[in-house]
Structure 1
Amino acid sequence: MLRLPPLRLLTVFETVQRAGGTKAAAAELNVSMSAVSQALRQLEEHIGAALIDRSTRPSGLTEAGEILLKAVIENTERLSEALNDIRALTDPAGASVTVACTIGFATYWLMPRLEAFYIDHPDIAVNVHTTQQEVPRLGQGTDIAMRYGDGRWDDGTVDLLFRETVEPVCSPSLAERIRSDDGNLGTAFLIHVDTSDRRWLSWPDYLARTHQKAAGSAKGLRFSNYVQATQAAISGHGVMLGWRSITGDQVEKGLLVSAGLPRLQPDNAYHAVLSHQSRNRETAAVVVDWLRAAAQPQV
């Protein structure tokens, strides 16, 4: 029988991919960068295959790494769902609400706003369950799902949060270089995010709709999620398609700026879906109302 790798090694591997690199993972796990690198090599030795493609900058995953990451994420999601279900059974009347959303939405939109929520509602605990799915499921232990789409779901009460906007963004230094080249993307790498969800605009979609050309840079850099892509853009590695839910706050902070290209508004939007099966509907409704207000533009 195949011996499974130690859980701590899998945790480090998943954290590196989600956080966007060894340095960010080390900070999140509160360990040294060398400890993270050592854990990755131990995992590769245990499996007997290279997981990290160290020949690229920034480094990416090998085919074996992609397979393992998918399995780790799927099983982590199942475990989280099981724990949420157990929590709902053991504390059905508790003042806690579980929100399901993608990693990118949680990292760049939801989590930064929860501190303000707790100031307004210190008696309500919000548990965040991240998923790779763009349309998170509403299981027994999940009260609210943050979904990107057309809003046509029948498993809960749907509230529009905000409409998405898409605009190419990059680091300030790279934007200056692009402007000095008359806005030509041919000198800048494009940062791609590989997703099977056709609702998310890809670079080919954007270039076709805006009649732009990327010349020889179109191949660019490829990542498996928007967290990695955003970190690469902030570090100045290329231009990414900035979605309001992912890069909006980074633009406000000045970490990313417009690349000077047209802005698009997709047909789909972000919604909060309150489960019909929620055991804490009244408390969950308070969370939805607060999130809807937080999503409105500040004047």
Structure 2
Amino acid sequence: MDRLPPLRLLTIFDAVHRLGSMQLAAAELNVTRPAVSQAIRALEDHVGAQLVDRSVKPAVATEAGERLARSTRSGLAQISDAIEEIRFAAGLAERQVTVCCTLGMATQWLMPRIAGFYSEHPGIMVNVQAPPSDLPHFAVGVDIALRYTAKPSEDGVTELLFPERVCPVGSPKVMAALMDDPANLRDATLIHVRVPQSYGWPGWSEYLASKALPRPKGPKQVYDNYIQAVQAALDGRGVMLGWRSITSALVMEGRLVPLPGGGHDFGTSYWATCAPDSHHKPAARIFMEWVSKAAQPMREEAA
């Protein structure tokens, strides 16, 4: 890098070559003409070759000067572009927020409401991540995590979104046969989701035990995530455990029907946690306020 001349000299040389005049270059750069001339001579001393032919009026670039001018123009343009990209990225970082949540929460609860956020805050972009493990955590770049837990997390600023609650749901046709007696679940096709116990989501075994209902004898269908399970329930392939965060909108639309008296509270809730490093970001604070407001009807319903 010691072989490179000072950037100031290259900038002055570029202006002289581009404008074809030391006087015009001096005016553009807001310096005196002698200062421009001295800069050109200093650059020539640095490269060890004459860059400007002063024997003609106006002075013109030598062959060496033309070569350096082409490289200087290209290099300065790349530097300028890089600076603009950095400025844009820095500004964009302040106008975006990255949210991490489960796939079911993202698909069924958050994304249907996100249009409301954009209508209120069109200048902020929301990036939604759903980790393959379905365990939202603060990876690099994540500002806010929406989590299903029994108690608030302590790794950031946490606010309650809504108490979670589960109830068996199915298509109207499937649920018609279960309306008279919840014990009919014993013979129904139950839709299961593969969720490791450590994730904290109770399954059919826990639900039936909590309601003192008999163990199921009917067939079962097993899916890898709640998105697949919801689609199976909508298609009339069985009964699934419907969490409010996943099936509440479909129940309101009448596309899924809850089991009367089948609701159960396992003492869990959904929480929004803002990472400590992101709490100062205006976009993150705005999203925290908005998501709490969006969840307010569900909080009031549970009260």
What interval of TM-score do these two structures reach, taking the shorter chain for normalisation?
0.5 to 0.7
In 1: Cα distance, 2:155 partner to 2:119 partner: 30
Match of 1:44 in 2: none
Match of 2:145 in 1: 145
Determine if the alignment matches structure 1 residue 251 to structure 2 residue 251: yes
Q: After superposition, give the CA deviation of every residue in 1:263-294 in whole Å (9 maximum; x if it has no partner).
A: 11121211111011228622101101111011
In the alignment of these two chains, the number of paired residues is 211
Q: Partner amino acid for 1:105?
A: M
Match of 1:103 in 2: 103
SS class of match (2:233):
helix
SS class of match (1:297):
helix
SS class of match (1:178):
coil
Unaligned residue ranges in structure 1 (runs of 5+): 1-86
Determine if the alignment matches structure 1 residue 207 to structure 2 residue 183: no
Q: Partner amino acid for 1:278?
A: S
Match of 2:239 in 1: 239
SS class of match (2:130):
strand
Residue 130 of structure 1 deviates from its aligned partner by 1.0
Q: Partner amino acid for 2:209?
A: A
Q: 1:150 to 1:188 in 2, by over 3 A?
A: closer
CA contact 1:188–1:239 (8 Å) conserved in 2: yes
Q: Partner amino acid for 1:91?
A: A
Q: After superposition, give the CA deviation of every residue in 1:93-148 in whole Å (9 maximum; x if it has no partner).
A: 43000101111100000000001111111111101111133431112311101111
Q: 1:168 to 1:151 in 2, by over 3 A?
A: same
Match of 1:227 in 2: 227
CA contact 2:94–2:283 (8 Å) conserved in 1: no
Q: 1:207 to 1:181 in 2, by over 3 A?
A: closer
Q: After superposition, give the CA deviation of every residue in 1:140-184 in whole Å (9 maximum; x if it has no partner).
A: 311101111134433211111000011000000111122367861
CA contact 2:165–2:264 (8 Å) conserved in 1: yes
In 1: Cα distance, 2:169 partner to 2:182 partner: 16
Q: 1:151 to 1:183 in 2, by over 3 A?
A: closer
Match of 2:166 in 1: 166
In 2: Cα distance, 1:190 partner to 1:90 partner: 49
Structure with greater Cα Rg: 2
In 2: Cα distance, 1:134 partner to 1:271 partner: 15
Match of 2:184 in 1: 184
Q: 1:262 to 1:181 in 2, by over 3 A?
A: closer
Q: Partner amino acid for 1:205?
A: E
Match of 1:57 in 2: none
In 2: Cα distance, 1:146 partner to 1:134 partner: 11
In 2: Cα distance, 1:291 partner to 1:181 partner: 38
SS class of match (2:107):
helix
Once the two structures are aligned, what percentage of the paired residues are identical? 40
In 1: Cα distance, 2:152 partner to 2:260 partner: 34
Q: 1:292 to 1:129 in 2, by over 3 A?
A: same
Q: 1:215 to 1:152 in 2, by over 3 A?
A: closer
Match of 2:90 in 1: 91
More off after superposition, 131-140 vs 251-260: 131-140
In 1: Cα distance, 2:121 partner to 2:129 partner: 20
Q: Partner amino acid for 1:216?
A: K
Q: Partner amino acid for 2:145?
A: A
Alignment of 1:1-299 (within 5 A): 90-91=89-90, 93-179=93-179, 184-198=184-198, 199-217=200-218, 219-278=219-278, 281-297=281-297
Q: After superposition, give the CA deviation of every residue in 1:59-87 in whole Å (9 maximum; x if it has no partner).
A: xxxxxxxxxxxxxxxxxxxxxxxxxxxx9
Q: CA RMSD of the aligned region, Å?
A: 2.3
In 2: Cα distance, 1:130 partner to 1:262 partner: 29
Q: Partner amino acid for 1:100?
A: C
Unaligned residue ranges in structure 2 (runs of 5+): 1-85
In 2: Cα distance, 1:118 partner to 1:251 partner: 25
In 1: Cα distance, 2:277 partner to 2:94 partner: 15
TM-score (norm 2): 0.64
Q: Partner amino acid for 1:130?
A: A
SS class of match (1:296):
helix
SS class of match (1:131):
coil
Q: After superposition, give the CA deviation of every residue in 1:196-247 in whole Å (9 maximum; x if it has no partner).
A: 1342111011111101125421x50001111100110111100111100011
SS class of match (1:246):
helix
